[in-house]
A and B are shown apart, each in its own frame.
Chain A
C-alpha cells in the first residue's frame, strides 16, 4: 500500500503545481489545451520509422516546464512511472521487423528497432506534453476550456467530478489499506479474498457517498447542469502563444529539422 499512497501523493503534487503563478500558468487554458492538441497531432502523425525528425519536439515541453517552474526531476520520475507501458507495447517490433534499415559502420540496425525507438520517443513526448499541460493548468480550468471549445456539458461535468472525487476516493483507499495492514501483521492479509471484500466495501462506501453528495447538490438547487463559473479572456498573448507554437510544430512536422540543419552545417564547412 505504501507505493499506492506514494502515487496518490505525487498525483496531488501535480495538482498543487498547477496552482502556481507564472506567465505560463496565467495563459488562457484554451490556448494551452489547443496548443497541446496541435502538438499531439503533429507528433503522432509521423511515419512509423521517424526518429530524428521527432527530436526537435522536445523543445516545447522543455521550454514550458522551464517557464512554468515545473521541477524537472519530478516530471522525469512521472515519465519513468508510465514508461513500462510503452516498453511493453513495442517490445515485439524488433523481433517481427528484422530487415536491416540502417548501417552504422559494420553494424546493421533493423527496421524493428527503429520503429521501437520511434514508439518510445513518441510516447515520451506526448506524456511530457500532457504532464506539462496538467502541471501548468488547473484541472478545472482545463474542463472549463474544453467546455468553451464545444465539448458537451455533461462531458466536462463528469470529468470535473471524476477529478474532484479521485482525492476523496483515494483517501478512502489509503485508509482501508492502512486498516488492513494494521491487522495483517506484515503478512499479506488474507490474500485475494480480503481484497475482493475490500473492493466490495469500497464500492458500497463510494455509492453511499455519491448519494450524500447528490443530496448536498439538490440542496443547493442542482438541476442536472453544473454551471462552471469562469470568465475566460483570450488576450493577444494567448493567441500569439497558440499560433506561434503551432507554426513551430507544423514546421517541425514538415521539415526534417535535424537533417536540414546537418546539411546546412556540412554545407558551411565544405
Chain B
C-alpha cells in the first residue's frame, strides 16, 4: 500500500431483510484528509463505514484502499491499515484490563513482548489514559472508554482511522477533550457523526448522506451554511454557526 487513498465506487448494499442501506455511493478520500460523513439516523453512515474495512461485502460496486481492492484475500492487510473505532466502546473493549485490551492487537501481530509493551504505553500516552492501564474497561467512564477504544486502534499503527459517532454518549467536557485529541492525529480520518460541531472542528471536507445516497460532498464550511440542503437531509446547522455564519470557528 504505497499511497493510502480510500476509494468507493458505486457501492450498493441491502440488509438481508430487504432494507436498502446504500444505493450507489462513490467518493475518493486522499491521504491525510479528514472527512466527516453526516446524515440523519438511518442514512447509511454505519453501513458505509462497514464496507470500507470489509466487514460487509457490497452487492454492487467496490472499495479500494491505495491500490488494493477490499476483497476476502486482502482483508487482513486492509484491517491493519485502517483502524476502526466502533460506536459502542463496550463492543471494542473485550479484555479484562485496559493494558491487555490495548495489547490484544499487537500481540496478534506476533510482535515481541517488549515491542508490544512499547506500543501499549505509547498508544495509551497518546490518548492520555496511561493511568488507567490496570483498570478493568467496564469500570471506566464513557469518555475514558472512548479514549481507550481509540488507543486499542492506535496500537496497531494504522494509516487511516474510521470513527463511528465518536462523540455520542459523551458529556460536553469529554466531548471537548475528544475533539482536541482527534485534532492531534495526522492520520487520514473518516468520521461518521451527527455532531456537526465536531465535524466543523475536525474536518475540512464533509459528505452528506441521506437515504443511502450522497446528497452533497464538499467543503465543510460551504455545506453547513446551505440551509436548504441541511433541511432536506434532516440536519440542522451546527450550534456554533446558527447566528453568524461567518464566525463559526471563533469559539
Contacts and interface: CB of A to CB of B under 8 A. Distances in A.
Contact of A139 (B91, B92, B96, B113): B96
A168 B90 contact: yes
Interface string A222-256: 11001111010000000000000000000000000
A216 B105 CA distance: 10
Interface stretch (A91-99, A146-154, A157-165): A157-165
Given A140-B97, A212-B86, A219 B108 contact: no
Given A15-B136, A217-B94, A229 B100 contact: yes
B232 to A, nearest CB: 31
B185 interface: no
Interface of A, helix, strand, loop or mixed by DSSP: helix
Interface residues of A, number: 30
Contact of A216 (B94, B100, B116): B94
A220 B97 contact: no
A228 B95 CA distance: 9
Interface string B131-157: 000101011000000000000110010
A105 B83 CA distance: 78
Given A168-B138, A223-B108, A216 B92 contact: yes
A212 B91 contact: yes
23 contacts: A15-B136, A19-B134, A140-B95, A164-B94, A167-B138, A212-B91, A215-B86, A215-B91, A216-B92, A216-B94, A217-B94, A217-B104, A218-B79, A219-B83, A220-B79, A220-B104, A220-B105, A221-B108, A222-B104, A223-B108, A226-B104, A227-B108, A229-B103
CB-based closest 10 A-B pairs: A221-B108, A220-B105, A140-B96, A212-B91, A227-B107, A167-B138, A216-B92, A229-B103, A213-B91, A219-B79
